[in-house]
Copies of this chain bind each other. A is one copy, B any other.
């Protein structure tokens, strides 16, 4: 893409009311627009990153045998009253973060904060026998949560894209097996987006049906959670369950743990029969017995993940995108008097299938370099009279200090290998 055709411009400062580092950088670089606290719109560069994250997660969901759906946000109360989650502070886990609204006939509606109830209700219509199980269903869908505070940029949205996966299994054994597979898939996702070494499987509070749930917590000062990390065992304990009994249960000693601020980038949860009991979702097993379906739910917020990557990897110059999710692979910078050469190289690379942003704007070199650092594309390639004299183009990785001049042929090989 030609940068002259990109409608967004970079800016020197974020909005005055923005207190989060991830949002400040994403706004300055033109990835997102802040509509209000906790509500961000995704602009062309930001949507590209989000789309890459979604594609990466979707591959894992498909490999898990997931079937993709897209459920409605608008909800009526009947299902949610059965599980006790409609009221603002309902019994047994009622949720106080609904946005409620109304039809013209005064029927009260809510905007879904999660989708256990409606999806269970749908599956109930299609699953009747052990032959229909297990089923794994996922979506990428916009959730609405009426957060009291939303000061963590795109890491805590009042409206945000969520990848939620739900499992419906015929037995505890079948559930545990799938739960283990999701845990591994989540680990792969966080490694793929470049925060693997900062992310720890963290024991957190369970529910009526399981002692613990597992959170994936990424260490960052911008996080709202506090966790206790055991680096050797690559695991952690959330402060909310940090008691001598839990430590003993997990075989951990307090002295071996480090206290860290962290953000929950993923959560996997064994739901047991909490929802299938309340919504009467049963199946007939091999022996002809009616049994409740065993459920699990699993969630990753792609925009939160994007914000976390910015928090964890950015430096004083700007954002640092890992190749896997970067908006473009190459930021090609055209300096004065080499328009033809730069255009030819741009065409050659895009024809090879490389995603290139060509900075063809009429700006000083220093401004272009500063923008490239702020935007954070992994590889910067400069074409100038000097590089052409030197035999090619100048390349520099976003986090590298030194640039080097290589031939165009070598660049092509580097990019398509």
Contact = CB atoms under 8 A, between A and B. Distances in A.
Interface string A43-80: 11001001000000000000001011111111110000
Interface in A255-298: none
Interface class of chain A by DSSP: mixed
Contacts of A67: 5-7, 44
Interface in A4-20: 5-9, 11
A73 to B, nearest CB: 6
A300 interface: no
A329 B317 CA distance: 49
A187 interface: no
B35 A104 contact: no
Contacts of A99: 74, 101-102, 109
A123 interface: yes
A109 B75 CA distance: 18
A135 interface: yes
Given A7-B137, A76-B35, A146-B103, A42 B70 contact: yes
Interface residues of A, number: 52
A132 to B, nearest CB: 7
A122 interface: yes
Interface string A137-154: 100001010101000000
A9 B69 contact: no
B41 A7 contact: no
B126 A8 contact: yes
Given A7-B67, A47-B70, 14 more contacts: A5-B65, A7-B123, A7-B137, A11-B125, A35-B76, A39-B72, A41-B71, A41-B122, A43-B122, A74-B158, A99-B101, A99-B102, A101-B111, A104-B148
List of 8 A-B pairs having minimum Cβ-Cβ separation, nearest first: A41-B71, A42-B70, A99-B101, A44-B67, A7-B135, A101-B101, A39-B72, A35-B72
